[in-house]
Amino acid sequence: MTLAATAAGHGFLSPSGVEIAFVLVGIATLGAAVLTVTTRQLVHAALWLVVALGGVAVAYLLLTAEFIAWVQVLIYVGSVVVLLLFGLMLTKAPIGRSPDADSGNRWAALVVALASAAALVWVVVDAFRATWINLDGAAQGSTEASGRSLFQYWVLPFEALSVLLLAALVGAIVLSRKSGEGEAAAASLTNGAARAPAAPAPREEQR
């Protein structure tokens, strides 16, 4: 009703090429995300995650948010997934199926996922149902526009988030240091004083 009134000329029955592309990318992203959680091969899951995150980046691009799209690729595909793969290879990443890559919590997880997805979809649809992006005008998601809104209207959340990240960073350092010293102390207790100085952990492992 309000939808039809405000969105005159933007009918759902005559989608533009960009809208069709957006839906297709969304379907591909969803498919990759489902495969990420259902595949039994750990490294395949990480690689499907790359596809899903890349799909989200393309969706950002189609919404004219160019800056956010590249940041998505840089942070998630370039760093988070590489870190994930690094961790997998460092611990256990067999080729083929991992029999233990399953969890008894799958139904609870499904419920939580569906609930959060429903909440997100509801909020987004409710907030933006009559908003249309003018593709022909100035880009609304350009670097300059994003920067202005971030540092004019959203400075406080931005800074709060950076404090949160700093806390996480400090926490990680504290955790790794404590365990390192504890092991060294334990080693010196069990092995005697003679061998203790000879076994400091390499610096890189303490980080």
Partner 1 sequence: MSDALDIALRLVAVFVVFLVFPLVIGQTEHKVMAHMQGRLGPMYAGGFHGWAQLVADGVKFAQKEDIVPAGADRRIFQLAPAVALLPYLLVLVAIPIGPHNAVGQALDAGIFFVLAVMGVGVLGSLMAGWASANKFSLLGGLRTAAQLLAYELPMLLAAASVAMAAGTLSLPGIIEAFHWWWVPWQIVGGVVFFTAGLAELQRPPFDMPVADSEIIFGAYTEYTGLRFALFLLAEYAGIVVLCALTSVLFLGGWHGPFGADGLGWLWTLLKTVILAFGVIWLRVTYPRLREDQLQKLAWTVLIPLALAQIALTGVVKVVISS
Q: Are 60 and 69 in contact (CB under 8 A)?
A: yes
Which of 180, 45, 158, 179 minimizes the C-alpha distance to 101? 45
Is 93 a binding residue for partner 1 by CB under 8 A? The answer is yes
Is 193 a binding residue for partner 1 by CB under 8 A? The answer is no
Among 43, 133, 187, 196, binds partner 1 (CB under 8 A): 43
DSSP the chain: -HHHHHTTT--SSS--HHHHHHHHHHHHHHHHHHHHHH-S-HHHHHHHHHHHHHHHHHHHHHTT-HHHHHHHIIIIIIIIHHHHHHHHHHH---SS--TT---TTHHHHHHHHHHHHHHHHHHHHHHHTT----SSSS-TTSHHHHHHHHHHTSHHHHHHHHHHHHHHHHHHHHHHHHHHHHHHHHHHHHH-TTTGGG-PPPHHHH-
- Of the pair 122, 151, the CB lying nearest partner 1 is at 151
- Of the pair 7, 51, the CB lying nearest partner 1 is at 51
Is 140 a binding residue for partner 1 by CB under 8 A? The answer is no
**Nearest distance from C-beta of residue 117 to partner 1, angstroms:** 27
Is 186 a binding residue for partner 1 by CB under 8 A? The answer is no
Among 139, 184, 187, 196, binds partner 1 (CB under 8 A): 139
Is 86 a binding residue for partner 1 by CB under 8 A? The answer is yes
Q: Are 11 and 46 in contact (CB under 8 A)?
A: no
Give residues 44-63 in contact with partner 1 (rule: CB under 8 A).
44, 47, 50
Q: Which stretch binds partner 1 (CB under 8 A): 21-29, 79-87, 115-123, 181-189?
A: 79-87
Among 15, 78, 157, 171, binds partner 1 (CB under 8 A): 78
Among 6, 116, 143, 149, binds partner 1 (CB under 8 A): 143
* Contact positions vs partner 1 (CB under 8 A): 41, 43-44, 47, 50, 66-67, 70-71, 73-74, 77-79, 81-83, 85-86, 89-90, 93, 95-96, 139, 142-143, 202-204, 207
